[in-house]
């Protein structure tokens, strides 16, 4: 897992107490990194860090609300105060919002943009300024395969992730001359609690979400390994698993084909789930 690359590195993670963020925090600390876990649930972050500390690892918890730029700045400041620098910032915090666009409340759209796009943008900005001062570093923005192509029933989420991909690519060009590297992580569907904490609108129900996903979920350990490999090798983008790469290729080669496939998928899902709802 490229342990040598991460040994002694200072890494800050938002949304680090659960799901992919937790998996990354555990793997990085066990690879010898000094991890600063930021999460809105401070208790969960502290429990994680206490467990890692009991193993002889170096991990500390910070309360972070990524919708507040000052809160995100405090995470970076805490990492630098404790360890003298920040080698890697992983902007991982995110929420999902699912449902027909006509039924999605404006407040839900605002919250998704605030967390999934602006929260990562605040983390990128705070880390970027610190890395300019210290002469280098690595910023990782966890997006989604939906940063690369459209997807019905999740317009706000797709908009946020497309925005994050565009922001990362744009700042990457600026940071290249300063020794600052960027990676956008674009995974498919991971077996985390993302949907449990998500927002649902219209006909779709929380218990139906997994039924609607036509692909096998990626286990967290696999997603962690793929993410850390991309960071260690300084890949600008990591798209996984195979089906995510195939869909990305279709979008680039024939957007009309993908649009047609998505329309067909929607027709099939409406037939299936609307009939279930009326029984």
| Active-site annotation, residues | 157
Contact 66, 93 (CB under 8 A): yes
Q: Who contacts 106 (Cβ-Cβ below 8 Å, separation ≥6)?
A: none
Q: Who contacts 170 (Cβ-Cβ below 8 Å, separation ≥6)?
A: none
Give the chain's end-to-end CA distance (angstroms, integer). 50
Decide: helix, strand or coil at residue 185: strand
C-alpha distances in angstroms, 260 versus 151, 162, 189, 211, 251?
12, 20, 22, 21, 11
Distance between CA atoms of residues 227 and 190, nearest Å: 12
Contact 148, 128 (CB under 8 A): no
Distance between CA atoms of residues 243 and 186, nearest Å: 12
The tokens for 176 are: 């290249």
Distance between CA atoms of residues 28 and 224, nearest Å: 9
């Amino acid at each position: 897992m490229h342990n040598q690359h991460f040994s002694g590195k200072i890494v800050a993670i938002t949304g680090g107490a659960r799901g992919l963020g937790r998996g990354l925090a555990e793997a990085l600390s066990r690879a010898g990194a000094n991890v600063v876990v930021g999460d809105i649930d401070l208790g969960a972050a502290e429990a994680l860090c206490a467990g890692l500390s009991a193993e002889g690892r170096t991990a500390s918890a910070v309360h972070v609300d990524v919708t507040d730029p000052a809160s995100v700045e405090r995470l970076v400041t805490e990492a630098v105060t404790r360890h003298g620098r920040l080698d890697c910032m992983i902007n991982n915090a995110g929420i999902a919002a699912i449902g027909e666009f006509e039924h999605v409340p404006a407040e839900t759209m605002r919250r998704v943009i605030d967390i999934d796009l602006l929260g990562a943008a605040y983390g990128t900005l705070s880390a970027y300024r610190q890395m300019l001062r210290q002469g280098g570093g690595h910023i990782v923005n966890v997006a989604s395969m939906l940063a690369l192509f459209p997807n019905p029933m999740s317009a706000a989420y797709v908009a946020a992730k497309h925005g994050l991909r565009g922001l990362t690519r744009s700042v990457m060009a600026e940071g290249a001359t300063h020794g600052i590297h960027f990676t956008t992580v674009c995974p498919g569907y991971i077996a985390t609690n993302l949907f449990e904490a998500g927002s649902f609108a219209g006909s779709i129900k929380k218990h139906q979400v997994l039924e609607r996903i036509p692909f096998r979920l990626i286990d967290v350990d696999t997603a962690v390994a793929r993410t850390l490999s991309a960071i260690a090798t300084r890949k600008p983008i990591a798209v996984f698993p195979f089906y995510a790469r195939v869909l990305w290729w279709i979008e680039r080669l024939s957007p009309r084909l993908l649009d047609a496939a998505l329309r067909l998928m929607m027709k099939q899902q409406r037939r299936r789930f609307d009939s279930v709802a009326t029984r």
